[in-house]
Each structure stands twice: as C-alpha cells, then as structure tokens.
Structure 1
Amino acid sequence: MNDTQVSPRIGQQLDCVIVGGGLAGGLIALALQRARPDFRIALVEAGKVLGGNHRWSWFDSDLSGEGRALLSGFRQTEWDDGYEVAFPQYCRALKTPYRSMASADFHSGLVRELPEDALMLGRKAVSLDARGVDIEDSQGQVTRLEARSVIDCRPFEPSLHLTGGWQVFLGRHMRMEQPHHISRPVIMDAHVDQLAPHGNGGAYRFVYVLPLGAHDLFVEDTYYADEPALDRSALSARIDAYATAKGWSDYAILGHETGMLPVLTGGDFAAHQRSVRIEGVTLAGARGGFTHPLTSYTLPMAVENAIAIARDADLTGLQLSLMFEARARRHWSRTSFYRLLARMLFHAAKPERRVQIFQRFYRLRPGLIERFYAARSTLMDKTRILAGKPPVSIMRAIAAIFSRGTALTRNPTPKDNE
C-alpha cells in the first residue's frame, strides 16, 4: 500500500499498532497474524519497504522449533554443512548449520502473509501513547490510529545511560564471471589488516563471505571500533582488494548494505529504560535492549519476543508493556557476561590486538560456541572462556572489569566519498 491511500483500518479501534517495520516489528505482526487472525493490527513503517536494506544471518541452533516455524515462510539461504573461520594462526570448519535472509525476501514474505490494509508504509509515527499512534504521510497529513495496544519497534537510539563501542560494516552482493567454488560461509576471516580505515585507530577487523549461489557472493568488511564512523569509500576499496586477492572477478554489483551497531559494555539499564519509556507502550526491539551485547545479534531475540507477544496477545497494552519491561531487565541481567567480554575487547586489548581474543575463542568446543551466539552460555561455558592463559595482560583485564566505558551518545556518522 502506498502512502497516498487511506487504509480501511484508520478510524477503527485496532487491537494492536506496531511502530517500526524492521525485523522486530515485522515478526511481531507475523506472529500475531498467525496466532490471532481475528486481530485488527497495523504495521506502521516510515520507509517504503519492510526490513530496510539488510541481511540477517543466524545459526540454526539459535532458534527453537517454534522459532524456525515462524521464519519458515521466508525465503532463506541455508548451509547445512556448517561454516568456516580463519585467523592468523589457523583456519577451522565447524558443522553448525547456518542461515541467511535478505530484507527483500523478508518484505515479500510479510506482504504475502499480512492483510494488505494492515501495512502502512511511507507513514511516520509522530507520537505514540498507550491508546494509539499519530502517523504522518508524505503530504504532512496526520492521522490518528486508536489501539488497545501499542508496540514500539523503532531502531536503537544512542543513549547517555549505556556504554560501549560499535560494530561497523559494509557489505556487497557481487556476481562473478566464473563460479567461485565456495560451498560454505566464512563468517570470520580475520587474516586481514587489523587497522581501521582513514586514521580511526586500530580495530578488530574481519571479512564475512556468504556464497549465495554458484556465481553470487555477499562480501562484508566489518570491524569493532571505538567510534561510530563509517567510510563507505574506504570499506569498498578494502572489499575490492580482498576480492582481487582471492581471484574473484565480478561483472555485476547487485547491492550494498551498511551498518553501525552498538556493542554494549555496560551502563545503567534502569535509567535507560526510564529515558525511552512511554507509559503503557511496549518496547520490543533493539531500543528496548533486546540485543546480544557483544555480537549485536538481534534475530534470536526478535523471534522469541514475537512468539511471546503472540502467546499473550489478550493482555492489555499496560500489562504487555510491564511484562516486556521485566523481560528486558531479565535479558540485561542474563547477558552481563557478554558485556564483560565486550569490556575486555574494548578496554583490555590494544585495538590492533583484539583479534587475539576471537582467535582464542574459536579454538573452543562447537557446542560452547553455539550457546555463546544464542546468548545461552552455561556457567561451565563461561568458566572455560575465561580459563587458561588470557589473550590480554592481567592488569589491563582487571582495569577493564571496572571500566565505566564510553557513553553511546554519538549518532553514527556515515561518510560517503565514493
């Protein structure tokens, strides 16, 4: 539906309005539609498409059977024979099945399953409250959507109350002249220069490679850096150099993706919740704290949250918002170990030596690695990760534990000088 049309749902009392048509919001809408097709829902998205311009990837072990079922209607690329990693000291193949989904397929899947009049694209939410949402179209006309429940899935905003660094990346979907003969994803090739581009200091840098077809590759240059600065030209040049070194000759570039995701090291989560809270409105996405602190993954949390909301769809808006505030606090508490590791990464390791932390980690058992990415590490896992000779100095590690970190107050600043 384009933004010049008037949805039949405007003027109705809706059961639920979801603001933000990204991963979290789209999956909630889908889960509600499947569980309660009688519900009158609206999915409000300021952009023209759902999901933006992204690629989401995950390990099959990240999801429950119910989670896999929720995603089953979307076109996915699957690698059942696992993935590879590469570091200066070794390469390793792991057998955990891996999955990936493009935002275009996410959009198509939602359009196919959701009622047409539930999709409100090109509409910006100008205000939210417990009883509804005011939305604005491209002509500046504001319309009120009244609802029993409002769910806020807008993107993460920099916060004075959270500390950390940034995961910065640029990805390119390229088509080769000849078959590339790569059968499995390389989710971390850290056998590359560890300096961040254009004088931003050091960083943990790696290249991520997905074989999407016999001639198609998705290649992403990623680094963990202290500042949220992305230089498209510099990263694009690095992808060129990497492809050339691999002997890949592309004749078509099918798309790009960029991102700057927060890596959380700590903060006052209660104060953050107060700063983003709208009384009676449910926060269910990254803005509400539902991320993996170290990897910046959101898909497993988005899937679990969508299932939880569909399961308790009959709660009032106030009840649902309070339930999710408590859910977010539990998530913050149980992911404290990953924030500790993030502090080690940013404060105990010199930037150009951060690769040693991941190089050591990927020598561990596959089951431990699976649980780490799913944010379900056991006490034994945590002990094993911290045991042995540390890849950083003891004194720096102790200092990192008590470091307050840098507040995530700066807005990401992409630089496009291509």
Structure 2
Amino acid sequence: MQQAQRDSGPQAFTDIAILGGGLAGSLIALAMAAHRPELSVTIFERGERLGGRHVWSFFASDLPRGGEALVDPLVAARWDGYSVRFPGLRRQLTTPYRSITSARLDAAVRAVLPPERIVAGVDVAAAEARGLVLADGRRFSAGAVIDARGSHGLAHMAGGWQKFAGRALCLSAPHGLTGPVVMDATVEQIDGYRFVYCLPFSATEVFVEDTYYSDTPDLDLPVLRHRIDAYAARAGWTVERVDYEETGVLPVIAQGDFDRFWAEGGALPRAGVRAALVHPLTSYSIPDAVRFALYLTTLDNLSAERLGRISHDWAAQHWRERRFYRMLSRMLFGAAEGPQRWRMLARFYALPEALIERFYAGRSTPLDMARILAGRPPVPVGAAIASLAGKGRPLADLAAAGGL
C-alpha cells in the first residue's frame, strides 16, 4: 500500500532508476528482479524497444557464478563450439558459444518488470543522484539513479575502433554451417584488421557481420553491405531477403587517464560502457555487465552515495586489472600495418583453448600473459617495442562519428 501511494503522487518514486535500457541497464534490472524483488526498479529508455536492434554474443566460459541463470532468458541461440579461419590456419574449438538478441532482451525485461516500470520512447532531460526529469516534463524521484546510457566517445582514452555492419540473411537453401564462424580473416584485408563473423541461427538463416579493427571510426554502410553480399555469393548462398541490419563502432582501448575520464563523466553512479566496463581489446561487454549486475544485488546499502562510490571503485579496479589487454591493443594498432594485423590474431588462436577462454573472460593468468607474449612476435620486434609507448587515436573522436 505504501508503494502504491508513493507511485500515485505527482512525482513517482522508484528505489532504483536506470538510465538506458541497453545491455548493462537491462541486466541490472533483471538481476534486481531475481535477487532483490523487494526493490522497485524503473528503466528509462529513449528508444521504443529495450536493447535497440542488436545481437550480442559471448562464450559460456565468460560468465561468473550465477551468470548463466541471469542471461538464459535472453539467449536466442546456443552452439557447442565455434571455428576461426586465417590464412594457413583453420581451427575448430569446443567452447560453447551463445547469442543474445535485443528482441529476447526486451521480452525478458518486460516479463519481470510491471509496465509502469519501463518508461520508453522519451529522453531524459536532466538527472541527479535522487531523481530525474524527462523531456516531456514528467518527474521521478529515486533512492538512487544509475547511468547506463552507453557513451558518445571515451574522453581521456585512446586507441582504435572495432566497427562493423551486420545483416541477418534468409537464404533459399541451407548454408551448410555447423556452428558459428567467430573470425574468418581469409577475406581481403582492408581498413586495418578485417574479418567476417557468421552466426547460423537456423539452416537457412545466418547473421553475417563485416568487422574491422580500424584506426578511424568512420563506417561506410553501403560499402559494407556490398562486401557482405559478395561474401554470401562466394559462399554459394542465395539471399531471399535481409531480415534486419545493425551497425556499431566500439572502442578498443589502448591507453587512458581513468581519473580524468571519471571526473568528466558526471557525479551519477555508472554502469556498462559509460563506466568503461568493457574488454579493452575485444570490446566484449557481457562478462563485465553480468558481474557488475550480480554484485549490485549483494549490497545492503543501495543509496545514491553508496552506489556512486561502488561504481567508481569497481570501474577503477577493472581499469587496473585490464592493463595487459590495453598493452596488447597498443601492439595491435601500433606494431603492425593494417593489412598485417591478422597475423597477431592468427598466432593467438594457435594457443591452448583454455588460455583463449580465460583471455575472452578477462581472467588471463600471469602464465597466460607470458605465453601470449613468448616466442617470435608476428610483427617486427622494433615496432612491437615502439608500440608500447604509443597512445592511439583519442576515443572521444567517436562522438563525431555518431557515438557508440
């Protein structure tokens, strides 16, 4: 009754207000619904549908304890392994692979939150620690506000970009794939390290993504569409229709000043890319989003002040722990010319499968790190050493390219 009275007033109340209904914000809402049902949680999303139009993928080994139960309702496809293709190397790996779709994300959140707890299709005009105002004038008060709206470039950080265009293709005949092709780098190397990524959602449905580790954030969609069509044609596939399309430009973090980045981002608690909670080299965000969402459910004190300190300390610890991957990003962008970058990835994929699993999960051991760096590097030694002093392009430039 008390909650109903608070909600019926001129300024609705919620225990936790989440700005942004993307992956990070939605996972927090799902985790709270599962583990802290006594709390009211409201998502504020500028789009009409949570998650937009995206496919997110991850390895089953990426998830922390309790993570599988959290993400299971979001998973649209599961495979028992995956393959990679490079010039001179083709390998089948057995690590289970999963894909989440935005449609499943939207449905899962709507299944656990009451309709009034999902406020979509409107911008947030202003937000502070304990409340927000929407562009249409509605006001909400909150025990705490968490900013999970992604980012329009990472200020005070530098590196490169992973950019892509993906198309969901419906074919006239079976494609013949037995599992995902996570990297096909046998394609022409253009605009940095290029690979094609294929997810077979059914015998005649395949999601094909053309991806680049590039020095620039610009993305020419008509050109990438043409390259995807050409890839399908070379595979012998006849495309009946394109069911949907997505694009993305993600940061590949090589270096940065975390304290300045955080200070410039405002005083609100943060999650997801807005807190730089991504793998610096792969740009994967699911493992970190799941870990942070589950951690928040264990806190007794979820006040605005407490969440502000927690999110900063969590992100700062993540920044310290990921320095090895930032070093590899500097080597990838600084030690090799764009057309030769594939050699670093090909060498990596020749390493033991367990090491590869820990790498993607952000849990590389000191022995793993030594193994990755051991032996003759696939790039000139002098260039590899020089790259460690490089910084890359400012990732705040991403704002000029339309954001993340």
Answer yes or no: same fold by TM over 0.5.
yes
Q: Is 1:101 the equivalent of 2:100?
A: yes
The percent of aligned pairs where both chains have the same amino acid is 43
Aligned to 2:132: 133
**Counterpart contact for 2:73–2:104, Cα < 8 Å:** no
Q: CA deviation at 1:157?
A: 2.5
* Matching residue of 2:51: 51
Matches within 5 A, 1:361-376: 361-376=348-363
1:131 shift after superposition: 1.5
SS of corresponding position for 1:283: coil
C-alpha offsets along residues 253-304 of structure 1, whole Å, 9 cap, x if unaligned?
Answer: 11111000010000101110101031xx211110111000000000111111
Alpha-carbon distance in structure 2 between the residues aligned to 1:223 and 1:396: 21
Q: Secondary structure at 2:61's aligned position in 1?
A: helix
Structure 1 residue 402 displacement after superposition = 1.1
**Are residues 1:351 and 2:334 paired?**
no
Q: How does 1:232-271 map to 2 (within 5 A)?
A: 232-271=221-260
Report deviation, 1:393: 1.0
Note the C-alpha offset of 1:159: 3.3
Unpaired stretches in structure 2, ≥5 consecutive residues: 1-6
Which residue pairs with 1:76 in the alignment? 76
Per-residue CA deviation, residues 12-32 of structure 1 (Å, 9 max, x unaligned), is: 332110000000001101111
- Displacement after TM superposition at 1:172 (Å): 0.6
Number of the residue aligned with 2:169: 174
- The correspondence for 2:213, drawn from 203, 224, 230, is 224
Contact in 1 for aligned 2:51/2:102 (Cα 8 Å): yes
TM-score normalised by L of structure 2 = 0.95
User: 2:86 is matched with which residue?
Assistant: 87
CA drift at 1:10:
6.4
How many residue pairs match? The answer is 396
Alpha-carbon deviation of 1:8?
5.3
Question: CA 1:10–1:28 in structure 2 vs 1: closer, same or farther (change >3 Å)?
Answer: farther
The yes-or-no answer on 1:188 pairing with 2:183 is yes
Residue aligning to 2:193: 204
Q: 1:173 to 1:10 in 2, by over 3 A?
A: farther
- The within-5 A match list for 1:268-417 is 268-278=257-267, 281-312=268-299, 314-411=301-398
Once the two structures are superposed, residues 78-134 of structure 1 have per-residue CA deviations (whole angstroms, 9 ceiling, x without a partner) of 002x00000011100000000001111111111112111100001211111111111
- Whether the aligned pair in 2 keeps the contact of 1:176 and 1:215 (CA below 8 Å) is yes
Q: Is the 8 A contact 2:281 2:326 kept in 1?
A: yes
What's the RMSD between the two structures over aligned residues? 1.4
Check conservation: 2:330, 2:391, Cα contact below 8 A.
Answer: no
Question: How far is 1:413 from its partner?
Answer: 5.9
Match of residue 146 from structure 2 = 151
Look up the match of 1:4. Answer: none
Give the match for residue 199 of structure 1. none
Instruction: Identify if the C-alpha distance between structure 1 residues 353 and 9 changes in structure 2 by more than 3 Å, giving closer, same or farther.
Output: farther
Post-superposition offset of 1:73: 2.1
The reply on whether 1:163 has 2:158 as its aligned counterpart is yes
Q: Structure 1 residue 359: deviation in Å? A: 0.7
TM-score (norm 1): 0.92
Q: Matched residues in 1 for 2:155 and 2:296: separation? A: 29
In the TM superposition, what whole-angstrom CA distance separates every residue of 1:201-237 from its partner, at most 9, and x where no partner exists?
A: xx10000001100110000000010110110110011
